[in-house]
Amino acid sequence: MEQTIDRSAAIRSLTYGSLRLETRYLLSPLAGFTNLPFRRVCRELGGVGLATTDLVSARGLLEGSRKSLQLIETCPQDRPFAVQIFGREPNVMRDAARFLAERGVDSIDINMGCPVDRITKGGAGSAMMCSRDTVSLVRTVVEAVDLPVTVKMRLGWDAKQLTAPRFAREFEQVGAAAIAIHGRTREQGFSGQVDLDGIRAVVEAVEHIPVIGNGDVRNVEDAARMLNVTGCDGVSVGRGALANPWIFRQLEQWERTGRYDPPGTFDDRLELMQRQFKYLRDQVGADRGLRMFRKMAHWYLKGMRVRAARRHRFQLVKSLDEFEEAVAEVRREGPASGCRDGVLEDVHVPVPKGPVERW
Ligand SMILES: Cc1cc2nc3c(=O)[nH]c(=O)nc-3n(C[C@H](O)[C@H](O)[C@H](O)COP(=O)(O)O)c2cc1C
């Protein structure tokens, strides 16, 4: 694709402590989606500097919860990778970090951004942005392991408490290796637009650690704006990767050459969807895989412009044969709009609406 987007801010390398990342484009954690199979396909397409797991309960890890342990499963192709932990008890977070270090993860990310009531009611996620104890929790985790420890947060709890710049500086002082910042407050949920000036304030607050800008990046142009306006050192992409898993490769190509390839066609997406499903089956078995893949199939098929009735079939499939039949029908019928071997129109990934308390 031709493009004339200013890339003056784009050419810099990114390191988390001693960990050098191949690119400055990171996969943002998306609970329920950024599992090992999805991380693998994004990496195979190229351009991913670092991928992070969904948020994982620190306590769940220490108690050996099957769900938590499955979330941290990885493979040699899934490197470097970070595990994101949440919890508000410093000792539990410290022990979980040690447990992860022993398992060879490359980096540990502390969740301070999750706005969901279930997490914030216990004082974790974005509720940590309201507590002074948060800095000592980060210090405790940093001191417990010999790995880069990063923090992902929002701009603050609400517009009156924009605590991110102050926390970012304090986290740097206690040894955090990087900060990822989603440019919205907890109160905003996903409403409105990402506040690039708010991210810039975090970039300006730290002395030397990298700041990763996050929010609403759906294409190269959005990433260029994020880099240029905020001065951030890297960009993390969440929903944009569900709509277009080629986005990291496009960003890396753009940074290197100023040009980039279009995202995959209908047939490329269908192949990718099947590949991801195979990885999931290998990991969790066919029965669970079929159930777990439903929401991912929805996004693939939306991106492929498959009509609603055909998409719905994937929500009902109960066996591998039915899955293969549904794939064959989709292949036969092609996209409901747009062309089979060209660029399909971008899909918009919606998020929960209304007050975050009710999500
Ligand atoms: C379905 C969903 C799940 C998410 N799960 C997590 C999570 O586990 N940990 C986290 O730090 N952020 C999580 N987020 C927030 C994203 O990482 C990201 O900060 C946010 O979506 C804005 O970036 P985007 O516009 O590129 O998606 C989630 C967002 C969505 C939509």
Q: Say yes or no: CB of residue 84 within 6 Å of ligand 1.
A: yes
55: helix, coil or strand? strand
pLDDT digits (tens, 9 = 90+) for 283-325: 999 999 999 999 899 989 998 999 999 999 999 999 999 999 9
Distance (Å) from CA 358 to ligand 1 centroid: 17
Atom of ligand 1 at shortest distance to CA of 152? 11
Q: Say yes or no: CB of residue 214 within 6 Å of ligand 1.
A: yes
Whether the CB-CB separation of 197 and 167 falls below 8 Å is answered with no
pLDDT digits (tens, 9 = 90+) for 88-147: 999 999 999 999 999 999 999 999 988 888 888 888 888 888 888 999 999 999 999 999
Distance (Å) from CA 30 to ligand 1 centroid: 5
Q: Say yes or no: CB of residue 179 within 6 Å of ligand 1.
A: no
Lowest mean pLDDT among 53-62, 131-140, 210-219, 346-355: 346-355
Please give the sequence-ordered ranges of beta strands (E in DSSP) within 134-243, or none if there are none: 149-154, 178-182, 211-214, 234-237
Taking the C-alpha atoms of residue 43 and residue 52, their distance in angstroms, rounded to an integer, is: 12
pLDDT of residue 359: 42
Distance (Å) from CA 181 to ligand 1 centroid: 11
Spatial CA neighbour of 27 closest among 190, 217, 154: 217
Residue range 278-284: average pLDDT? 96
Q: The whole model's pTM is what?
A: 0.94
- Spatial neighbors of 55 by CB under 8 A, at least 6 apart, are 29, 31, 84, 85, 86, 111, 114, 119, 125
Nearest-CA residue for atom 1 of ligand 1: 30
Q: Give the pair of three-digit tokens for residue 228.
A: 């240029």
pLDDT of residue 114: 85
Whether the CB-CB separation of 94 and 62 falls below 8 Å is answered with no
Residue range 170-191: average pLDDT? 95
Higher per-residue pLDDT: 126 or 178? 178
Name the residue with tokens 């993860």: 105
For residue 20, report the phi and psi dihedrals to the nearest 5 degrees: -95, 125
Taking the C-alpha atoms of residue 167 and residue 156, their distance in angstroms, rounded to an integer, is: 10
Residue range 29-54: average pLDDT? 97
Higher per-residue pLDDT: 274 or 116? 274
Whether the CB-CB separation of 245 and 302 falls below 8 Å is answered with no
Taking the C-alpha atoms of residue 299 and residue 12, their distance in angstroms, rounded to an integer, is: 32
